């Protein structure tokens, strides 16, 4: 079932060092998990192998693939992180530890906090590769849900739909986004799933034959116009994506034109425009639906030309035209260009800049964004260069400082015992947390448990901490608290109490 050569076949031109690292991680993981079984009774190592395979398919490097093989060793079979570092280096350790930490985050269905939880995932990952390993891990777990106890299965499915599928989308990995959504959808919304499926089946009964006929006619037309090198085929919309669109269109399936889009893939950009000319020469396009995302890429860097035409037999079909390279980026994101040059100090820049892809508004606030022509040096991966082009200063360091002060250095995400996410400035204490929830909670605070342990009120909170405030009716703030707190809100409540609150 599992075969290391299968991995090597997927990786594009691996070096000797790549092969050695992956082979070592492979046998280490196989051995560490040798007595470890999944719910189904199959060897646990299958899960690690499938995760690594997904990472290889995404074009990730040997370090990430190795970390994928090792990602459950700390949590599940008690391997020490020091051992991972000794055997595989600090970078693999960093990635495995990052995935382990992410695994402790749970979404319990409080929609108010869903965006904060996504941000927390991003902040805790620190490096995009941690998140990509987690996505590959989740993808494989979703394929093996049936045997889990129902409450656990439902929680994982909901978390996948609300947290991980949107993150895959924002990373531009459509393939994983679609697969996660379509596996979670029937579990989270069984009735809606059934309804959408029935609607689609009925529509396909009418349409499949007409679409096939149109497909043939398009191929014939393109060849007639001298475009011989091309790949064509239908792309069918995922059921969850169709469900969301149906909700926006009053459940009228006839208003959705891209349920099945005809995809045409040609060698060059010039060919894309020739295809568009050829198609419009034969079929009349719907006004307002011609989108040139080659000249004007979408904000997530999606590129391609879309047009919607009347087929001449009462049908309307969307056509998507792009090059092979654009097609690959659409499905797998831009991460396959990620060069694993982590020992380069420039990576500090890389580690932070990628966050902007997720929350551009959150991070940049209302600062003006200008495109600069100064490109960072060639050692920075291309997809990060793309981001850096939005840098208004030519200095990468200044750009990083902006992001740092706006995101990593300043914000902290912690949990209430119920799992609500509270967003605080970094350096906050449990007192800030209490006042952030309610002034009464702060004013009666007598102690605090962080991650179930009683600690002092001066403890500096860390990302992902679970905070439980202990109150007593006779407890009250003291002037010392003013030195311990970080937020203006807490300081204000404490001052109010010290001035007026005494009974």
Q: Which residues bind Mn ion (CB under 5 A)?
A: 72, 137
Our answer to whether residue 162 is catalytic in this structure is no
Choice between 91 and 137, CB closer to Mn ion? 137
| CA angle at 239 for the pair 38 and 275, rounded to the nearest 5° | 120
The span from the CA of 123 to the CA of 113, in Å, is 15
The minimum distance between CB 133 and Mn ion, in angstroms, equals 9
The minimum distance between CB 99 and Mn ion, in angstroms, equals 8
The minimum distance between CB 46 and Mn ion, in angstroms, equals 11
Sequence-ordered list of residues with C-beta below 8 angstroms from that of 214, at least 6 positions apart, any chain: 262, 311, 313, 315, 317
Choice between 137 and 406, CB closer to Mn ion? 137
Choice between 94 and 349, CB closer to Mn ion? 94
Instruction: For residue 421, give Cα distances in angstroms to 95, 281, 412, 492.
Output: 24, 55, 10, 23
The minimum distance between CB 259 and Mn ion, in angstroms, equals 34
Choice between 72 and 432, CB closer to Mn ion? 72
Our answer to whether residue 75 is catalytic in this structure is yes
The span from the CA of 124 to the CA of 177, in Å, is 20
Choice between 148 and 316, CB closer to Mn ion? 148
**Closest residue by beta carbon to Mn ion:** 137
- Residue 236 and residue 201 in contact, taking contact as beta carbons nearer than 8 Å: no
Among the options 30, 57, 75, 337, which is catalytic?
Answer: 75
Of the candidates 336, 224, 329, 241, the one whose C-alpha atom is nearest the C-alpha of residue 281 is 224
The minimum distance between CB 100 and Mn ion, in angstroms, equals 10
The span from the CA of 243 to the CA of 163, in Å, is 18
Concatenated DSSP letters of 74-123: HHHH---HHHHHHHH-HHHHHHHHHHHHHTT----S-GGGHHHHHHHHHH
Largest Cα–Cα distance in the chain? 91
Among the options 57, 76, 331, 423, which is catalytic?
Answer: 76
C-alpha torsion sign, points 378, 379, 383, 388:
negative
Catalytic residues: 75-76
């Amino acid at each position: 079932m599992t075969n290391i050569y299968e991995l090597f076949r997927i990786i594009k031109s691996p070096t000797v060092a790549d092969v050695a690292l992956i082979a070592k991680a492979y046998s280490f993981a196989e051995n560490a998990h040798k007595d470890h079984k999944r719910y189904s009774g199959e060897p646990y190592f299958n899960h690690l192998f499938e995760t690594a395979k997904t990472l290889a398919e995404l074009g990730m490097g040997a370090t990430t693939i190795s970390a994928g093989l090792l990602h459950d060793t700390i949590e599940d079979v008690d391997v020490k992180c020091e051992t991972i570092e000794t055997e595989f280096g600090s970078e693999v350790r960093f990635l495995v530890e990052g995935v382990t930490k992410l695994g402790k985050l749970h979404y319990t269905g409080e929609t108010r906090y869903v965006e904060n939880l996504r941000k927390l995932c991003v902040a805790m990952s620190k490096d995009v590769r941690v998140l990509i390993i987690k996505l590959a891990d989740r993808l494989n777990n979703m394929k093996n849900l049936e045997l889990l106890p129902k409450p656990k299965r439902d929680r994982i499915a909901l978390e996948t739909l609300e947290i991980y599928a949107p993150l895959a989308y924002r990373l531009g990995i459509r393939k994983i986004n679609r697969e996660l959504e379509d596996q979670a959808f029937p579990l989270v919304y069984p009735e809606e799933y059934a309804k959408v499926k029935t609607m689609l089946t009925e529509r396909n009964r009418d349409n499949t034959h007409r679409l096939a006929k149109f497909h043939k006619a398009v191929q014939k037309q393109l060849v007639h116009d001298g475009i011989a090198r091309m790949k064509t085929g239908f792309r069918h919309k995922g059921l969850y994506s169709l469900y969301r669109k149906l909700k926006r269109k009053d459940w009228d399936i006839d208003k959705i034109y891209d349920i099945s889009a005809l995809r045409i893939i040609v060698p060059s950009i010039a060919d894309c425009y020739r295809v568009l000319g050829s198609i419009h020469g034969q079929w009349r396009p719907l006004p307002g639906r011609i989108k040139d995302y080659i000249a004007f890429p979408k904000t997530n860097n999606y590129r391609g030309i879309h047009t919607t035409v009347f087929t001449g037999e009462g049908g309307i079909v969307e056509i998507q035209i792009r090059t092979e390279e654009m097609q690959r980026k659409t499905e797998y994101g831009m991460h396959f260009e990620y060069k694993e040059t982590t020992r380069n100090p420039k990576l500090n820049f890389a580690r932070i800049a990628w966050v902007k892809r997720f929350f551009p508004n959150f991070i940049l606030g209302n600062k003006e964004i200008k495109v600069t022509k100064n490109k960072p040096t060639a050692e920075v991966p291309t997809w990060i260069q793309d981001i850096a082009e939005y840098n208004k200063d030519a200095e990468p360091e200044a750009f990083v400082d902006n992001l740092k002060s706006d995101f990593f250095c300043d914000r902290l995400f912690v949990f209430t015992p119920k799992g609500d996410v509270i967003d605080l400035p970094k350096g906050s204490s449990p007192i800030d947390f209490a006042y952030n929830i309610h002034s009464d909670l702060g004013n009666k605070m007598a102690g605090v448990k962080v991650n179930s342990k009683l600690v002092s009120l001066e403890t500096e909170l860390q990302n992902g901490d679970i905070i439980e405030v202990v109150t007593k009716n006779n407890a009250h703030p003291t002037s010392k608290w003013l030195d311990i707190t970080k937020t203006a809100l807490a300081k204000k409540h404490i001052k109010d109490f010290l001035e007026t609150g005494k009974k």
